[in-house]
Structures are given as C-alpha cells and as structure tokens.
Amino acid sequence: MVSRVIPVDPFDLVIFGGTGDLARRKILPGLFRRFCAGQMPADARIVGAARTDMDTAAYRAMVSDAISEFGGEFACEGTTLEKFLQQIDYISIDARGEKGWAELQEKMSGTDRVEAYYFSVSPSLFGDLAERLQHWGMADHESRIVVEKPFGRDLETARALNKTLATYFAESQIYRIDHYLGKETVQNLMAVRFGNMLFEPLWNAQYVDHIQITVAETVGVGGRGEYYDKSGAMRDMVQNHLMQLLCLIAMEPPARFDPDAVRDEKLKVIRALDPVEPHHIARGQYLAEVGNETENPDYRTAVNDPRSHTESFVALKAKISNWRWAGTPFYLRTGKRMSARSSEITVVFKETPHSIFAEDAGRHRNVLSIRLQPNEGITLGVTIKEPGPGGMRLIDVPLDMTFADALGDQDADHVDAYERLIMDVIRGNQTLFMRGDEVEAAWAWTDPLIQGWEARNDVPKPYDSGSDGPTVSTELMRRDGREWRKV
Ligand code: NAD
C-alpha cells in the first residue's frame, strides 16, 4: 500500500532564524522531504530571514549543505534538490530594527496565498517579530505565525507573551509548536484510543494500575549549558512535552477530532492535576562519564557553576482528580545522560481479579507501550500459554500494533514531526499545536513545584552517567510497590 500525499495549497513561508540550528537541522530538511514527496507545490516559496548578511545564492548553498548533513535519505534525484533550491530566497533582516523589512514586505505583497511566519529565533524576539509584522502590514487575517519553545519560563512570562502576541494576531493564527505532538505514534495513540471499541472501556482507574511516561536522553547539556542551567528538566521537558503526552493519554474522548474539541479536553486534564507532594518528586544531576571525564564532564562542570541546583533529571508522581483517573498514579520521568535514548508511554493494566491457573503460573499484567523514539510503534503485552507440553505455564508476549506488514510502503514513508507540523500550519489545522490557555495552565501546575524546591533549597541528587537516574527515583516507585520500565 503506497501512502497518499495530498499537496497543500501554494504558500509563502518565511523562516525567521533561517540560518539557525533548528532551521538547518529540522525545518529546511523537513521541507525538502515534503517537496520530494510531492506535497509542496512547485510555486510555494520559502524565504530565509535572519540577521546574517548573505545573498540568496549563499543561502541556497547553506540549505543544500544542511540537507546533505541532516536530511537523511531521500528518494529524490539530484535535479530535484536544484528545483527545491530555486524556490528559496533570503533576506537579511533585523527583528528589532528596520533592516530588511521593506524588502520582505515587497516580497509578500500582492499574493493571496497562505502566508506563514516561523519564529525560529530566541523567544526574546517573538514579541518584536509580531510587532514588526503588524507594523509592515503582514499580520492580516490570512497570515499565521509559528512559535517555537520555550513559551515563557513561568506563568507570568507565558501570560505576558500570550498577551503580546494577542495584540497583533488572533489565537487562530498562532501555532505554538511542541514537536512531540507531530510524531506519528502520538497521533496513532489517539487512533488506537478513539478508533477502537477495545481500549476505551478499560481506560480508567478501575482497570489501569498506573501509567509511566519516560523521555530519556543519552546526551548531556552540550553547548547549551548556560541556557539549560536557567531552565532545568522540569521547564525544558516536563512543562511541555511530558504534559502534552499526559494530556493525550488521560483526556476524555473529544466530541470531534477538531482543534478546539481536542484542546478543550487536554486543558481539562491539566486543570484536574493535583499539586505534587515534595516527597513525590525526585531530582537529579548527572555525574561525569567514568573514564571520559574531559569530554563528558559532570553537570555542574558542564554548566560552569559548581553550586548549581538545577536538575538534569526529574521524576514525579502526578494524580488527576477526576472520575476516570481517581487513584491511578501517573509517573513522569525525564533526564539527560541516561542509559538509552527513549521516549515511551506505558499503560500498565491491573492483574486479573482472580487467577484460575496454578500458583506457579504466575500473575500477569497487560502492558500497552507507546514508543515515540526510537522505532516508533505501539505494542500490547498479552499473556499466553507457553507453547509445548508440561502444563499450563503463562508467558507475556508483545503484540506488535505497528502493523508494518499490513501497511507496507506506507509505514516506510516516515514523516518527521516537523514536516507534519509545518504542513498542518499551511493547511490551517491547529489540532497538534498548543493553545494559549493550555500553556498557561501547564505553567500554573509546574510553577508551585519549582517554587517549592527553590524555597526548600532542594539539592538534586547525583546520578551516574549512563544510569536511569538517581536512587531517589527508584525509591519513588518502590514505595508504591512498582518499578520503572527499563529505559
Ligand atoms: P540559533 O541561535 O541557532 O539561531 C538563531 C537565529 O536567529 C539565527 O538565524 C540568527 O541569525 C537569528 N537572529 C538572531 N537575532 C536576530 C535578530 N535580531 N533579527 C533577526 N534574526 C536574528 O537558535 P536555534 O537553535 O535555531 O533556535 C531557534 C528557536 O528554536 C529558539 O526559540 C529555540 O529555543 C527553539 N528550539 C530550538 C531547538 C533546536 O534543536 N535548535 C529545539 C527546540 C526549540
């Protein structure tokens, strides 16, 4: 079965920060892949706009390099890249000044196509860009802006940013990116939940023992040490990515698969979250990699602050106070320099109420695991009889719900999260983007936790590089008679 690619309408996409890391690693290679797939129309235009002085020819060369470095493999011939590059222009622009704006305005005037402006720049420039766009008459109702993370660093700053953007753009024009929502498996999670009769009746506290959400990275803070130290795992990962996943797994079925119906339900989940008790939070900081201390130093050395109290790991137990989930814990965990790179949501069902099998057959649980990376896919652990003679022994086997065989080529035609989200912007579909009130509600939940450990002067516990976090994280689970899944 070959995937069906529906071309989007012609568009003009301006990438502010078009020379930056994100543009080179994700946005531009992603657009090229959509071009190769035949989804990007031949008359769509991409305009890189950044502070660097360069002409269009130099920019196209930079884009070409970025595609060879980060583009992965394409079923695209050499001439296709040339054609793609012909659709790209560059303008040297200053978000805070006058430079480049008249040129951009001229380029964007006189078309009645979709106009999208991607803010792939420091968040400190988001307000300036919105103001400049309006000042130069580019904030009309056909235009959209795409805003990168981080969206604020607490409730107050997120509110201020929402207010600033709302001065120039309607909420329906603002696309706040959380690239986790663009992952194939995340959408498949919704399809599995709401497209089957099988799961929804069991999707509640009566049948689910607990849910784990893990986002583990093997990398350290790298060159982002200074930025990261002002943020930490809670702000950088939990407030956005993990909470978004939590919402999708816990929300009530929306009445329709439309942006506001979905986002209304997600918002209700965040608002139903209880405050987290301090002893239900485990924070950690990674130690140096043994034998490779110079290249992979400990967290405090990496951020150049021997007294830093910022966490590179956090685990917590969250509770959702509503009818569906009362009594079911949600364990969230994320960290750097962990044993493997893995993002996974696991739904652990309860044991059967009574086992008809002999004691030594063991008690078993169904586990539904939704893997976001690596190897996106969904598996359901089911209990069967161990084949062969010798009595009734039970074993758990994974039922692969990725259905690679059934989907064939379609499954292989893998679309990166950024590509999907950019195409959604062009189509005007906000379902996979965070609404302003959602972001504020998420900060309203995380702020008191952060303020709590700051007030207690909590010091994160050290953990070994390449481990699964500090022992306090294991204890958090053990106290409840549970265990983290292997990363
Ligand atoms: P970067 O520092 O690599 O690039 C910044 C870009 O902004 C450059 O193109 C620069 O020319 C441009 N710029 C700076 N000042 C400007 C000005 N006054 N006027 C016009 N352009 C200006 O940053 P990045 O890593 O590409 O990140 C961009 C945004 O994306 C940030 O908000 C970041 O938090 C977010 N983000 C990045 C990543 C990533 O992997 N890099 C991941 C998630 C989110």
**What is the arithmetic mean of pLDDT over 83-87?**
96
Q: Which residue's alpha carbon is nearest to atom 37 within ligand 1?
A: 22
Q: Give the separation between CA 326 and CA 208, rounded to whole angstroms.
A: 11
Indicate which residue of 241, 309, 354, 414 is catalytic: 241
Read off the pTM.
0.95
In tens, the pLDDT along 398-421 reads 998 876 667 765 544 567 899 999
Least confident of 19-23, 72-76, 182-186, 239-243: 72-76
Atom in ligand 1 nearest the alpha carbon of residue 95 = 19
**Cα 225 to averaged position of ligand 1 atoms, centre (Å):** 16
Query: Are 126 and 75 within 8 A, CB to CB?
Result: no
212: DSSP letter:
E
In percent, the amount of the chain with pLDDT more than 90 equals 83
Whether residue 361 has pLDDT greater than 90: no
pLDDT digits (tens, 9 = 90+) for 432-441: 999 999 999 9
Name the closest-CA residue to atom 16, ligand 1: 51
8 Å CB contact between 237 and 213: no
CA–centroid distance, residue 122 to ligand 1 (Å): 5
Q: Is 241 a catalytic residue?
A: yes
Nearest C-alpha neighbor of 321 from the set 268, 264, 279: 268
Mean of all residue pLDDT scores within the chain: 93
* Band of pLDDT at residue 345, cut at 50, 70 and 90: very high
Q: Which long-range contacts (CB under 8 A, 24 or more apart) does 248-251 make?
A: 248/181, 248/186, 248/189, 248/190, 249/189, 249/211, 249/213, 249/345, 249/347, 249/370, 250/211, 250/320, 250/324, 250/325, 250/330
Kindly report the protein residue whose alpha carbon is nearest to atom 41 of ligand 1: 22
How many CB atoms neighbour CB 10 within 10 A? 16
Cα-to-centroid distance, 22 and ligand 1 (Å): 7
Indicate the top mutation candidate among 122, 129, 239 to test ligand 1's pocket, ranked by most ligand atoms within 8 A of CB. Answer: 122
pLDDT score, position 71:
82
Q: Which residue's CA is minimally distant from atom 4 of ligand 1? A: 20
Ligand 1 within 6 A of 17 CB? yes
Query: What residue's CA is closest to ligand 1, atom 40?
Result: 22
Question: Residue 264's pLDDT band (boundaries 50, 70, 90)?
Answer: very high
Query: In sequence order, what are the residues at sequence separation of 6 or more whose Cβ sits closer than 8 angstroms to the Cβ of residue 78?
Result: none
Q: Which domains does the chain have, with CATH numbers?
A: 11-148 (3.40.50.720), 181-478 (3.30.360.10)
Confidence of residue 112 (pLDDT cuts 50, 70, 90): confident
Of the listed ranges 104-108, 238-242, 360-364, 477-481, the least confidently predicted one is 360-364
Q: Is 20 in the pocket of ligand 1 (CB under 6 A)?
A: yes
Q: How far is the CA of 123 from the centre of ligand 1 (A)?
A: 8
**Ligand 1 pocket residue status of 51, Cβ below 6 Å:** yes
442 alpha carbon – ligand 1 mean position (Å): 24
Q: Whose CA is nearest to atom 9 of ligand 1?
A: 17
Q: Record the tokens describing residue 394, joined without a space.
A: 């039970």
Cβ 19 under 6 angstroms from ligand 1: yes
- The sign of the dihedral angle between the CA atoms of 115, 14, 419, 167 is negative
Choosing from 14, 19, 21 the residue with most ligand 1 atoms within 8 A of its CB, the one to mutate for a pocket test is 21
Residue 93 CB–ligand 1 contact under 6 Å: yes
pLDDT at position 411: 44
- Does residue 121 register a pLDDT over 80? yes
Per-residue pLDDT, 392: 83
Q: Cα angle at 43 between 41 and 48, to 5 degrees?
A: 100
Task: Report CA(28)–ligand 1 centroid distance (Å).
Answer: 14
Residue 280 has pLDDT above 60, yes or no: yes
CA–centroid distance, 388 to ligand 1, in Å, is: 60
| Closest CA to ligand 1's atom 7 | 17
